[in-house]
Structure formats: structure tokens, C-alpha cells
Amino acid sequence: MLSDEELLRYSRQILMPRFDIAGQETLKSARVLVLGAGGLGCPVALYLGAAGVGNLTLVDDDTVELANLQRQIGFDQGHLGESKAQSLAERVLRINPLVSVTAVNERLEGDALARRVEEASLVVDCTDNFNTRFALNRACVAAKVPLVSGAAIRGEGQLSVYDSRREDSPCYHCLYPEQGNEDLTCSEAGVIAPLVGMIGAAQAMEAIKVISGVGEPLIGRLLILDAWQMQWREMKLARDPSCPVCSG
């Protein structure tokens, strides 16, 4: 049930016939786990919090550094040296105090990661290393929790949605084998500032679509952005029948 304040705050979303009050109430009851509170995690958390996702858990074991401020829009000069997860949680609550935000200032692994995933309605992957992505994918497949995955580096970005509740959905491992992939970070290769906002905002949109059931999420599709040419390409993704993670 939405309060009068919530009806006013979210009125621009509720006005859309396909979304309506039912869509907003679904957002309010959702529990979203966001791994990574950096370039992608900032716009994801800010937009989901502003849109009225009722329960957000933000996970990051890092602190804010000066080089982050070029693109990580949840932080400012006053946050230097502070926990990213905690600072971003406080920023979300300043935008929308009607939602619940939990900050986890540690790297989730093993059983701790599995428990957090099992508690979530949806997971958003905003991390920057393959080991974490593969572990998160395995946990989401095991718990049958949808995963919205995004990545951005240099002037290139990509995103997709993996939903193991659907038999036709591939998982992250279907696209990327665990062997032969090496991490390439922004600190090594660079990244243009608005790119992470574009991909992060798109991840937030995909999360809202999956939660509300409105629209067609990027399941079985990979969007690839060349920001310098401002060109989006779409690749069809098929489930790998021999995938060691999701083939059963």
C-alpha cells in the first residue's frame, strides 16, 4: 500500500498506464542487491533508490579516492577516504528517505555471498573483475535470482540480463568461459566519465523492468555500446547446453 507521500513522489511513474500503482508497489516490495559502489554502482543505486525500490543492499569494500570523482557521481570531495558503500547509501537516503538502504563494507565471498543473493529479488552486477562476476553468476543461478550485468571501460560498454528462472535464458558463464579472461580495470585502461553513467542508468532501467514485469528485458541479448561513435549493437545470446553452471 502506498502512502500519500509515495503517491506524490512517484506520480510521474504511476501516471504511465503500463506501470501504474501496481508497478510502483512491486518496486516498493523488491529487495535489490548491488555489488559494486563505483562508476556503475553509483547511478544504479541513485536511480533505483529515487524510483522507489524499497530495499537496497550496497556492497563494496573500497574507500573513495580522488581519481574516483571523475565518474563516480555518488561522491564528492568530502567523501575522500570514506567507505564507498556507506557514503553511497547515505546519498541515496538523502534523495529518498522512504526506502531502506543497507551498506555492506566488505567483499562478499562463499556462503556470505550466497546468503545475500538468496535474500534478494534481483542482483545488479557493478563489479570490475571476472572472479567476482563468475561467483555472483553461480550464486544467482543456484538461487534462481535474476542478474543484471554491466561493464564499462575506455569508451566501450555492455549490458545484459540473465534470468535463470527462464529456461531460454543463458547465464554469464554461457557468454564468458572462466578460463582465458583477464581483468582489465579502469586504472589500467582508462574510462571516459559519462560512459559509466550511461551503462549504469541502463542497468537500473533493466532492473526496474525485471522487477515490475513491464517491458521486455535484455534476456538473451547483449547490448554493446561504442560511445565514441555513439553506436549500439545487439548480439543474440543462446544458452549453452553444456554450460557447467546453468545446464543442470
Q: What is the pLDDT of residues 103-121, one digit of tens each?
A: 999 999 999 999 999 999 9
Predicted pLDDT at 248:
72
Predicted pLDDT at 183:
62
Terminal Cα-to-Cα distance of the chain (whole angstroms): 39
- Check whether 14 has a pLDDT greater than 90: yes
Listed in sequence order, the residues at least 6 apart from 124 whose beta carbon sits closer than 8 Å to its beta carbon are 32, 33, 34, 35, 41, 44, 48, 147, 148, 150, 203, 204, 207
List residues bridging with 224 in a β-sheet. 158, 233
Query: How much of the chain exceeds pLDDT 90, in percent?
Result: 91
Mean pLDDT throughout 38-48? 98
- Check whether 233 has a pLDDT greater than 90: yes
The structure's pTM equals 0.96
Listed in sequence order, the residues at least 6 apart from 205 whose beta carbon sits closer than 8 Å to its beta carbon are 47
pLDDT category, 188, cuts 50, 70, 90?
Answer: confident
Predicted pLDDT at 181:
60
The average confidence (pLDDT) of the chain is 95
Ranges of each domain in the chain:
4-236
* Look-up of cell digits 555518488: 74
- Check whether 211 has a pLDDT greater than 90: yes
Mean pLDDT throughout 57-85? 98
CB 88: neighbour CB atoms within 10 A? 31
- Check whether 180 has a pLDDT greater than 70: no
- Check whether 182 has a pLDDT greater than 70: no
pLDDT category, 184, cuts 50, 70, 90?
Answer: low
Predicted pLDDT at 119:
98
Predicted pLDDT at 177:
82
User: Do the Cβ atoms of 172 and 147 come closer than 8 Å?
Assistant: yes
4-236 adopts what CATH topology? Rossmann fold (3.40.50)
pLDDT in tens, 117-175: 999 999 999 998 899 999 999 999 999 999 999 999 999 999 999 999 999 999 999 99
Axis-axis angle for helices 20-29, 193-212 (nearest 10): 110
Closest-CA residue to 36 (of 147, 177, 142): 147
Sort 100 into a burial class: Cβ within 10 Å, 0-12 / 13-18 / 19+. Answer: middle
E strands in 60-208: 100-104, 122-125, 147-153, 156-162
